[in-house]
Amino acid sequence: MNLRLALYELARVHRLSPPRMHALFALAELDAPPPHLPERFWRVVALLAAGLGGFGLVMWVAANWGALGRAGQFALLQGWVLLTALAAWRVAALRTPMGLLCLLGTGALFAYYGQTYQTGADAWQLFALWAALTLPLCLGVRSDVLWFPWVMVTCSAISLWVYARTGHRWQADDSDLPIHLVGWGLGVLLVVALSPWTQRWVGATHWSRRLALLAMAVSVTLAALAGLFVRTEIAPHYVLGLLLMGVAVGMLMQRRWFDIVGLSAALLSVDTLLVAGLVRFLFESGGSETVSRLLVVGFVAAGLLAVSVAWIMRRQNGMPASSTQEGASA
């Protein structure tokens, strides 16, 4: 809810005079600067400085890469990881930006190692090792700045593992179902690990948790659509995917787990799967023109979307102020 609009509505209802309305706005402190502006400003400046410094280092290394030799290249990458990790450990003011550079440097080191020695390992193994080795770093820094790229790495490892185990194809066989279930389970575990229940250990993880929810919703939706359309009969992937996203919607409706971004993604996934199921039913049953069936699908999709948006907004307005403010601050 917009506080400024609410104050205007309050002034209109009570017919406040201009001096009283100005006093009401002064009491609400709408024009006052944010209380944590200096702290957040210098934190953003430090992150930008770290990003620009890292980009400059990358450009310098790229310009002089051929002259370093293999030993020099490895020494440079390893020194980057070691120095940034040491700075993140010893200097509290630089912990977050140096931790971010250390995480990115670890990935660069693994990528260079894989390209140099051609170990034959699958791509998911490098991403999984990258995520496992940088997990203590994220737990030590306890910042969403590090958790967000770490979630990207972890979700990439899960997706690449599923892709490798299913034979590098987009289909839904009965033999692939356990693999998809394991991938979905790892996604759920990742979301739970970044939930408010674990905030005392992982810190604030608003955006990284949302990214994990979005990745899980996309993965489940694609696999469920494959189970619906790729085979002649409907595969269990579709029913289980729809059930999982329905459970996710129910969980995200709870006060403790409420998040408007995650709830919107989960509900959009449910709507997509329902409309896709309707499409298969209408076009397999026949009996009417294609245009009529398309109109039915369009009306149903628009109705589901409208009901979903209205439901989400009503749920958000019914949440306590602490929950809505937490979502806004995220």
Nearest Cα to Cα of residue 180 among 239, 129, 131: 239
Return the half-sphere exposure (C-beta side, CA atoms, 13 A cut-off) of residue 328.
Answer: 12
Report the C-alpha gap between 330 and 204 in whole angstroms: 9
Distances (CA, A) of 1 to 31, 241, 249, 315, 327: 18, 33, 22, 12, 12
Residue 149, phi-psi category: left (phi > 0), alpha (psi -120 to 50), beta (remainder): alpha
List all residues 6 or more positions away from 255 whose beta carbon is below 8 Å from its beta carbon. 319, 320, 323
Collect contacts of 110-119 with beta carbons under 8 A, ≥24 apart: 112/73, 112/74, 112/77, 113/74, 116/70
pTM: 0.77
List all residues 6 or more positions away from 43 whose beta carbon is below 8 Å from its beta carbon. 96
Report the C-alpha gap between 199 and 179 in whole angstroms: 30
3-class state of residue 211 by DSSP: helix
Yes or no: say if 219 and 184 are a contact pair by the CB < 8 Å rule. Answer: yes
Tell me what pLDDT residue 320 has: 56
Site of tokens 């993140």: 88
Distances (CA, A) of 18 to 5, 11, 198: 16, 9, 48
Q: What are the structure tokens assigned to 264, written together?
A: 């919107």
Report the C-alpha gap between 84 and 71 in whole angstroms: 20
Q: Which helix (H) or strand (E) holds 78?
A: helix 65-90
Tell me what pLDDT residue 152 has: 94
pLDDT in tens, the chain (330 residues): 466 677 777 778 888 888 887 777 777 766 666 666 677 777 778 778 777 776 776 677 667 666 767 787 788 888 888 998 998 888 887 888 889 889 988 888 887 777 777 666 778 888 999 999 999 999 999 988 899 999 999 999 999 999 888 876 767 777 888 999 999 999 999 999 998 888 888 887 888 999 999 999 999 999 999 888 877 788 899 999 999 999 999 988 888 788 888 899 999 999 999 999 999 888 887 666 778 888 989 999 999 999 999 998 888 877 654 444 444 344
List all residues 6 or more positions away from 225 whose beta carbon is below 8 Å from its beta carbon. 238, 272, 273, 276
Q: What are the structure tokens assigned to 322, written together?
A: 């602490």
Report the C-alpha gap between 212 and 155 in whole angstroms: 7
Sign of CA dihedral 27, 32, 34, 38: negative
